[in-house]
Amino acid sequence: MPRKLTAEFIGTLWLVLGGCGSAVLAAAFPQVGIGLLGVSFAFGLTVLTMAYAIGHVSGCHLNPAVTLGLVAAGRFDASEAPGYIIAQVAGAIAGAALLYVIVSGGAAFTGVGGFAANGYGANSPGRYDLNSVLVTEVVMTFFFLVIILCATSKRAPAGFAPIAIGLGLTLIHLISIPVSNTSVNPARSTGPAIFAEGGWALGQLWVFWVAPIAGAVVAGLFARWLDEDA
């Protein structure tokens, strides 16, 4: 278990450092900014690379919603879920802290601003309201878990799941960054929220725990039904 929790900690740290780091450091960098497409691929690549690196150790959840979705699907022991979730949140906070150290060392540093945190209303990139964000996060997390659970099914082609999962997360970001800055992961939302300026991100953080978990649990039950004759 210590190896599994360490893997989840390191993997989630990498997800936040790589995904949120691309958004904070490189998305709009003068002349060579990677934009929405680049940030979307960065998040997908963090999961793809870690799935191959630590999937054989911990299953590479990196996400409380994924862990609980796997529990709902009957693919993961519920007794191990609390430890996984704690390790994921701790890793996300550590990744955000490392990113803060890097950002604050820039010559033009005047503050971290939103710090790639998730939000709704005035804090949504496209100024989408709470209802739009809730629907988006539930639906996107549902499909993310469907991809994970079906790609890792015993009936799926072996060895390709990390690619499907990484590209699935990329697509999810391409769709939903303008709406909520894309969470689908309560741990990913928690790390940046702690460092974002103004305190608004912590005030809205509940949305990015409730909606992803709801979508993941429904997906887990759906995938269990799909695979019940396997």
pLDDT at 207: 98
Domain ranges for the chain, please list them: 2-226
Q: In sequence order, what DSSP letters do the residues of 142-170 get, joined into one string?
A: HHHHHHHHHHTSTTSPTT-HHHHHHHHHH
Angle at 98 between CA 93 and CA 104, to 5 degrees: 120
pLDDT at 165: 96
CATH 1.10.10.10 fits 2-226, yes or no: no
pLDDT, one tens digit for every residue, the chain (230 residues):
999 999 999 999 999 999 999 999 988 755 557 888 999 999 999 999 999 999 999 999 999 999 999 999 999 999 999 999 999 999 999 999 999 999 999 877 888 889 999 999 999 999 999 999 999 999 999 999 999 999 998 887 778 899 999 999 999 999 999 999 999 999 999 999 999 999 999 999 999 999 999 999 999 999 999 877 55
pLDDT at 153: 85
Q: Residue 131 is inside which H or E element, if any?
A: helix 130-151
pLDDT at 158: 78
pLDDT at 34: 86
Name which of 136, 115, 100 is nearest 189 in CA terms.
Answer: 115
- Distance in angstroms (rounded) separating the CA atoms of residues 99 and 80: 29
pLDDT at 156: 77
